[in-house]
Amino acid sequence: MPLEWSSSPPELLLAVDRTSGQPLRAQLEHGLRDAIRAGRLHVGERLPSSRELARTLGLSRGLVQECYAQLLAEGYLVTRPGSATRVAAGAAAPPGAARPRSTASHLVADFRWGVPDLGSFPVQDWLWAMREAAHAMPTAEFDYGDPRGSAGLREVLAGYLRRVRAAAADPEHIVVCNGYAQGLGLALRVLADGGARTVAFEDPGSPATVRDAAAVAGLRAIPVPVDEHGIDVSALAATDARAVVVTPAHQWPTGVALTPERRLALTEWARDRDAIVIEDDYDAEFRYDREPVGALQGLAPDRVISLGTVSKSLAPALRIGWMVCPADLVEPLTERKHRSDRGTPTLDQLALARLIESGRFDRHLRRMRATYAARRAALLAALAEHAPELPVTGLAAGFHAVAHLPAGADEHHIVTAARARSVGLYGISTCRASRTITPAQLVLGFGNVGERAITEGIAAVGHLLTGRP
């Protein structure tokens, strides 16, 4: 869609020195040439009208018109009737000023994990929600507002989380944040302020994310193993951790759900240790062949900080998340949030509230469940055809699977060889605290890759997955 220009002229920073003895027209011509050569003004960029530039610099309009005419003659500028004066196509910056754009190799299929279908973002619904929010937004809400976030969004979120995630959500105990990473960082800093010295995390899991946030908070981060039942609570109890980061509804990356017995054991550990469980409720909206699993926070609201975002349900670019907090942590988390950035953008929060309360968010999720279910089926069909011996797990929810490579397989070699065949594969080793490559496994994300690409991609690398020549 072509850009619809405002009738207001663009601003341009130029200066003339009336004490230099150099003619004003020469100064103006020199300043414009330098701005174009240095890349301050790019090809096609509008210049102010002669009337506006004359007014800004305190010059006569005729002098500015003469300057523009000279630069038009030299090929620096171009104009046509009814259009603004612009930088001409031949007026390039000097060699070396512009860096060539990198040209990433085209991939037949990119099985990158953690990315939803970016092309399915509900643009029209979001624009509707933004307009509705802006029209209804009171003047007072254009101020910084409550650092916990918009009261309207917190009210809507509390109702949504109670309804969909069986959370014990109170709007007064919700703090809105800029995505999961900020929420985790705020939580760990507050726990460190309260005397915590060690935070545990699932292994495999997200070691880099937790370790980075822990380092900023001054905490030691230690891994705790995960098995087919979820995090090993006995191993957790053997550490000195007073906080643990978990993904109980759909463990990242193995895909297992924390069993009821482990859920009970984890909440008992938190009470006995006077500890806090940080729950990453990251893609529980998408499930296929299992019963829904509620949020852990609903079992122990006084011991769990539940972090949620719209990064997987809508798009990472929105950078909107929330923390459902124990009552005694709301004030310190709010203070930390306020000191961090003065709050998450209010208009975006109100738009999300409109999207949820209007039913458009639920409609989008239903559509995406069908999309991801079809891609999951395409992945299983392609693997059954081209790598029938390959075990695949973690497919009960979300939009990724774990492929278990044959004994002796070299994860790094397979990833590199697949890239040479224009297929993006990703090993699970980066999810392990030790980064070990055994047992060799791949995490196959199918959120942002279409069914046809899935089929073609698996066909191109099927022999690599099974170890065939």
Determine the residue type at 60.
S
Choose among 247, 262, 287: nearest CA to 376.
287
In the chain, what is the straight-line distance between the N-terminal and C-terminal CA atoms, in Å? Answer: 49
**pTM greater than the 0.75 cutoff:** yes
Instruction: Please name the residues in contact with 405: beta carbons below 8 A apart, sequence gap of 6 or more.
Output: 390, 411, 414, 439, 440, 441, 442, 465, 467
pLDDT for the residue numbered 105: 53
What's the rounded Cα separation, in Å, for the pair 218 and 208? 15
pLDDT for the residue numbered 99: 45
The beta-carbon contacts of 369-372 under 8 Å, at least 24 apart in sequence, are 369/285, 369/286, 371/117, 371/120, 372/117, 372/286, 372/399, 372/446, 372/447
What is the secondary structure of 225-290 as a DSSP string?
EEETTEE-HHHHHTS--SEEEE--SS-TTT-PPPPHHHHHHHHHHHHHHT-EEEEE--STT-BSSS
Q: What φ, ψ does residue 169 adopt, rounded to 5°?
A: -95, 125
What's the rounded Cα separation, in Å, for the pair 184 and 181? 5
Token digits of residue 187: 């939580």
Radius of gyration of the chain measured on its C-alpha atoms: 28
pLDDT for the residue numbered 187: 98
Instruction: Please name the residues in contact with 186: beta carbons below 8 A apart, sequence gap of 6 or more.
Output: 175, 177, 323, 333, 336, 337, 340
What's the rounded Cα separation, in Å, for the pair 186 and 273? 21
pLDDT, tens only, 113-153: 999 999 999 999 999 999 999 999 989 889 988 999 999 99
pLDDT for the residue numbered 98: 46
Domains delineated in the chain: 24-87 (1.10.10.10), 109-116+363-466 (3.90.1150.10), 123-361 (3.40.640.10)
Give the count of beta carbons closer than 10 Å to the beta carbon of residue 59. 18
pLDDT for the residue numbered 102: 40
Q: What φ, ψ does residue 85 adopt, rounded to 5°?
A: -70, 135
3-class DSSP assignment, residue 398: coil
What's the rounded Cα separation, in Å, for the pair 149 and 140? 14
3-class DSSP assignment, residue 305: strand
The segments of the chain whose pLDDT lies below 50 read 96-104
